[in-house]
Every structure is written in structure tokens, then in C-alpha cells.
């Protein structure tokens, strides 16, 4: 049974380079993950603010209805609501909705999580290789 003898200096340098590159990738993934979490929190805050605004508008509308119905004059016509189109962002390529951007960001977050898992597996493999070399 032949055993392949590894050249220590070259192989360990290659392993160090691979480990450094994997660490850099992990750092970038952590940074982008943190940014995505901030964006997600901002999105949730905006949704909560919209919900509060909608609730307050409903209570104001019911107060107006009560006032109008109790008074002797005829009630006012209901206010027309102008609903804005979906918020759009102009990019170089095409017109994209903010919802599509958030969908893409969530997909990116999932990809980053998968890369982190793959990175952990690679680190374990590198550590086993190092232990075998030693």
C-alpha cells in the first residue's frame, strides 16, 4: 500500500490561502447578513407605522360619521381616497417595485446562510486535513 507523501510547505501554504479566502467570504456574508437584517427591521417598522396610520384614519372617519349623522344638516359625502400606485424605483435596467427588491434580498439572505453552512463544512474538512497532515 503506497502512501502519498505531502509536501508540507506548499500544501500548508495552499491550505492557509484557502482558509484566508474562506474567512474573507464569511466576513462579507456576515456583513451582508447584518445589512439585510437592518433592512428587514426597517421594513417591519414601516409596516407598523402604516398600520397605525390606517387605524387612526379609521377612528377619525367613524368620528366624522357620528358627527354628520347626529347633526341636523345632511351628512357630508365621504372623502374620496386616492390610492397611490405601488412604489417604484427606477434602475438602469428596468422599473422594479420595492416588493421585488425585498424578495430578491430575502433570496440573497437564504443564499448567504447556505454559503455560511458550506463554509463551516469546508472549515471542518480543512481542520481534518490539517490534523491528518500533522
Which residue ranges make up each domain of the chain? Answer: 26-71+90-133
C-alpha 25/C-alpha 117 separation (Å) is 12
Which of the pair, 91 or 35, is modelled with greater confidence? 35
Q: Nearest-CA neighbor of 68 among 82, 58, 56, 78?
A: 78
Pick 41 or 95 by higher pLDDT.
Answer: 41
Residue 61: the pLDDT is: 67
> What per-residue confidence (pLDDT) applies to 71?
53
What confidence tens digit (pLDDT) does each residue in 46-86 have? 999 888 888 877 777 666 666 555 555 555 666 666 565 55
Mean pLDDT, the chain, as a whole number? 76
pLDDT at position 26, please? 84
Give the span between the Cα atoms of 20 and 6, in whole angstroms.
Answer: 21
Q: What is the Cβ-side half-sphere exposure of residue 120, based on CA atoms within 13 angstroms? A: 6
Q: Residue 36 has what pLDDT?
A: 87
- Predicted confidence band at 91 (pLDDT cuts at 50, 70, 90)? low
CA distances from 95 to 90, 91, 107 (A): 5, 6, 19
Amino acid at each position: 500500500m503506497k502512501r502519498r507523501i505531502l509536501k508540507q510547505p506548499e500544501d500548508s501554504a495552499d491550505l492557509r490561502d484557502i482558509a484566508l479566502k474562506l474567512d474573507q467570504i464569511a466576513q462579507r456574508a456576515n456583513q451582508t447578513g447584518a445589512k439585510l437584517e437592518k433592512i428587514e427591521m426597517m421594513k417591519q417598522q414601516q409596516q407598523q407605522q402604516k398600520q397605525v396610520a390606517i387605524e387612526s384614519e379609521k377612528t377619525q372617519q367613524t368620528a366624522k360619521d357620528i358627527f354628520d349623522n347626529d347633526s341636523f344638516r345632511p351628512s357630508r359625502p365621504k372623502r374620496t381616497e386616492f390610492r397611490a400606485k405601488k412604489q417604484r424605483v427606477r434602475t438602469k435596467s428596468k422599473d422594479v417595485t420595492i416588493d421585488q427588491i425585498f424578495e430578491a434580498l430575502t433570496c440573497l439572505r437564504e443564499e448567504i446562510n447556505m454559503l455560511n453552512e458550506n463554509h463551516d463544512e469546508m472549515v471542518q474538512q480543512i481542520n481534518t486535513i490539517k490534523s491528518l497532515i500533522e
